[in-house]
Chains A and B, each alone.
Chain A
Amino acid sequence: MVAKIAKHTGAASLTRRSLLQGGGALLGALPLGACHKSSKSSTKATELSFWNFYAPSEQFAIPSKWFTDLTQAWNANNDVKVNLRYVPPADYFAGTVVQTAFSSGEGPDIFLISPGDFLRYYNGGVLADLTPYLSPETIADHIDGVLDTRKVDGKIYGLPMEVEPLAMYYSLQAFEKAGLSEADLPKTWDQLLAVARKLTKKDQFGVLFETTPGYYQNFTWYPFMWMGGASAVAGPGTTGFNAPGAIKALEFWQRAVQDGVCPRKCQGDGGSDAIANLASGYCAMQQTGIWSISQLAQKAPSFPYGVCRLPVPDGGTYTTAMGGWAFVANAKGRNPEAAAKFVAWALGSTGPDGAERCLQWNTVAKTNLPTRKSVYQAAERAGTFSKGPLATFMKDVVKGGRGEPRYTPEVYRVVSDAIQACQLGGSDPAKSAAEAATKIDLFLKQYQGARML
């Protein structure tokens, strides 16, 4: 019966031999496919892929348009075309898409990286040297120190598109309800905890720090460590983690949670999400970055808030961390030279169009501080930084700015474990710092990649 059905459907013509032949042909085709891939990579492509996380969605409508305009302007005047590809932010920051693409030799030609990820890609040999495509004027136009974490041995491997300092945002309504004024804004860690206690209610926390483990939590914790003079990597091959500054910073975040003034879990997208946390009334003060100005302007325009510096420990020096993403070109991509030229053109052009492009990104598409002096001056002339929270950032917050460090994932993990253990696990900060320092030391002894900064 089965044979009859097979015959009726025409499958009877299949013999064991033909099946084996078909299978053999299929297996034979696999290496041929691989050959095709390698031959494709040996020729210079005329189409480049540019991976980013600014999809044309409601959330990123304005920055997305900036990216679209950027590629359209390039494509109109160049034979090598650049195509945008969007990866959802959560997947881009901590997912598998980008990594899997590189692992399979299909990584993007141009992509965005944060300083925290720089060494992973640089040590992997996939970052193209952009220096030959940058004029001395362009390099000199960059604000002092802004290129440091993208440089190795004097060569530039990434062009930053923005500077994103961290600050403390506060809800004016929450302050008023608690009988506090801006004169009560905390200047020290002890004051912060005291004010947070007054602001803490049945369903509102006084202050919010990031609680989810990851690169972002480390980034937000570093300023507190730096304010006490400590550093995860103090110099080549040495850690400065087992130091009073790091221990105090671990203690400070631990106290905020144990006193019940800081939540153990953030809402929404975490500590960088001012809408889900500050504007929703979940917390009265929140440590977040300059990007939250545009977040609040777009999604909670009537929410009254203010911005101030991060408080300082007794005897400490004010410091904040400054993040920011950079354009990079894939050295193992389909056309690294064209990709590098695109990056240099997009963010390094010193002509009026180039300056305007950067100005638009930093003042219209997003709220950041520009990376170039000429753009900063243009923004000042336009009055962008003369009022409101942006003025506070420019006049006050940024003055103690320090670039987001570039550590390897191994160092990041050790620091992350120490933060988590103390903040949420209740571990002894001194013991955690000592254990972390031992692990970092052990790693640094055998580390051979580019210098950690």
Chain B
Amino acid sequence: MSGLARTAETAAAKAAAGARSARRRREAFAAYLFIAPDVIGLLMFVGLPMCLALGMAFFEVDGFGGYRFVGIDNFAKMTDDAMLWRSVGVTFAYVGGFVPLSFAVSLGLALLVREPFPGVGFVRMAFFLPNVISLVVAGVLWQFLLVDRRGAVPVLFRSIGLGNVSWLGDPRLALATLILISVWFLVGYQMLIFLAALKDIPQEYYDAAHIDGASTWQQFQYVTWPMLRPTSFFVAINSTVSAVTGLQAFDLVYVLTRGGPANSTSTLVFYIYQQAFTYNHYGYAAAMTAMVVGFLAMTTGLLFAATRGGRFDTATR
């Protein structure tokens, strides 16, 4: 090949590379444009308020325009706040009850409605139905059902001698009742996520397991469960975060118990709400929020690191 031809070939290669590079830039730019609305929205309505809230945590804010810099006093104050730590305890109990229960029930329901049978669409819809109504409305509904002695639930339990139980008025039962209502509300949504993941598992795996003589339990143990791990991880993280800071940790408490009886359902988000809007301690509320966000970010970060972003062993293959 002559030198001229080589030069021409190099120039053509460079031109092709340049064109590829320009196309990549254009595509990247288009991609940025596509995600821009979400990014701008997140920055404006999540990122910016989070930064402002973190800044507010270093001030005493009275709610009427008064700001006074107090350094880390709001953070230091947390150590002596018994009610805060009690709310943390309530939140841990709520998470400890809600997350495993909703996980197990939703997975069980997904397995139940996985295969088609007459009316399966209706059954799936029925399980998901609570999710389409407002949590506040759901709370009011349950309030009626659980009215002491007269509600449908106490009347139902009367036959077994539990008619006088106060499901929302007894501090020993109120949190458990809230957990059950939360599970009832959210389980349909989680069931759909599991159902989608179950549908993604290739049938060949089950066929192979069947040929190998695997029982139903063994098929679940060695095929379904490992294949569901990324989804299980997502469901567990999602339900944990929503149990700590999500709507059901606040809305249900606000509608059903206002943190009572005797602070037994005063979750952390409800306590933060009270500090801000009942006591006008906005700075302190912001400091507690920063603590919660930091804790959740650290926990989820560690979990992501330990599970390779929820993909578990797939990254090592």
Contact = CB atoms under 8 A, between A and B. Distances in A.
A178 B62 CA distance: 53
A409 B278 CA distance: 7
Contact of B169 (A96, A121, A265, A427): A265
Contacts of A14: 33
B259 A11 contact: no
B62 A124 contact: yes
Given A263-B148, A265-B147, A120 B262 contact: no
B152 to A, nearest CB: 12
Interface stretch (B63-71, B107-115, B226-234, B294-302): B63-71
Contacts of A126: 64
A124 B279 contact: no
Given A3-B27, A16-B29, A265-B147, A212 B260 contact: yes
A120 B164 CA distance: 40
Contact of B63 (A103, A212, A427): A103
A174 B78 CA distance: 50
Interface string B130-170: 00000000000000001111100000000000011010111
Give the most central of B27, B62, B257, B260: most A CB within 10 Å: B260
Interface in A380-422: 409-410, 413, 417, 420-421
A204 B62 CA distance: 45
Contacts of A413: 278-279
A153 interface: no
B263 interface: yes
B20 interface: no
B264 interface: yes
Given A3-B26, A6-B33, A265-B148, A102 B261 contact: no
Contacts of A260: 164
B59 interface: no
B148 A425 contact: no
Contacts of A264: 148, 166, 168-170, 261
A204 B260 CA distance: 23
Contacts of B29: 16
A212 B62 contact: no
Interface string A90-120: 0000111001101101010000000000001
Contacts of B276: 99
B89 to A, nearest CB: 15
A107 B62 CA distance: 14
Contacts of A265: 146-148, 166, 168-169
Contact of A421 (B163, B170, B262, B279): B262
B280 A99 contact: yes
Contacts of B273: 96
A259 to B, nearest CB: 12
Contacts of B222: none
Nearest to A263: B148
Contacts of A96: 273, 277
B143 to A, nearest CB: 8
A103 B286 CA distance: 14
B261 A420 contact: yes
A183 B115 CA distance: 69
Contacts of A425: 171, 261-262, 264
Interface residues of B, number: 42
A282 interface: yes
Interface string A215-252: 00000000000000000000000000000000000000
A18 to B, nearest CB: 12
Interface in B238-281: 257-264, 273, 276-280
B80 to A, nearest CB: 11
Nearest to B173: A264
Contacts of B166: 263-265
B305 interface: no
B30 interface: yes
A301 interface: no
Give the most central of B148, B163, B276, B279: most A CB within 10 Å: B148
B280 A409 contact: yes
A26 to B, nearest CB: 9
Contacts of A417: 83, 262-263
A255 interface: no
Nearest to B34: A2
A234 to B, nearest CB: 23
Contacts of A427: 262
A96 B259 CA distance: 16
Contact of B261 (A105, A204, A211): A211
A123 B257 CA distance: 29
A147 to B, nearest CB: 23
B149 A202 contact: yes
B63 A124 contact: yes
A89 interface: no
Nearest to B279: A409
A137 B276 CA distance: 41
B32 to A, nearest CB: 9
Nearest to B257: A212
Contacts of A121: 64
Contact of A410 (B23, B26, B61, B279): B279
Contacts of A304: none
Nearest to A214: B258
Nearest to A425: B262
A52 to B, nearest CB: 19
Contact of A124 (B83, B147, B149, B280): B280
A37 B166 CA distance: 51
B263 A420 contact: yes
11 contacts: A14-B33, A99-B277, A125-B66, A211-B260, A213-B259, A265-B147, A265-B169, A267-B147, A282-B150, A409-B278, A410-B279
Interface of A: 2-3, 6, 11, 14, 16, 19, 94-96, 99-100, 102-103, 105, 107, 120-121, 123-126, 202-205, 211-214, 260, 263-265, 267, 282, 332, 409-410, 413, 417, 420-421, 423-425, 427
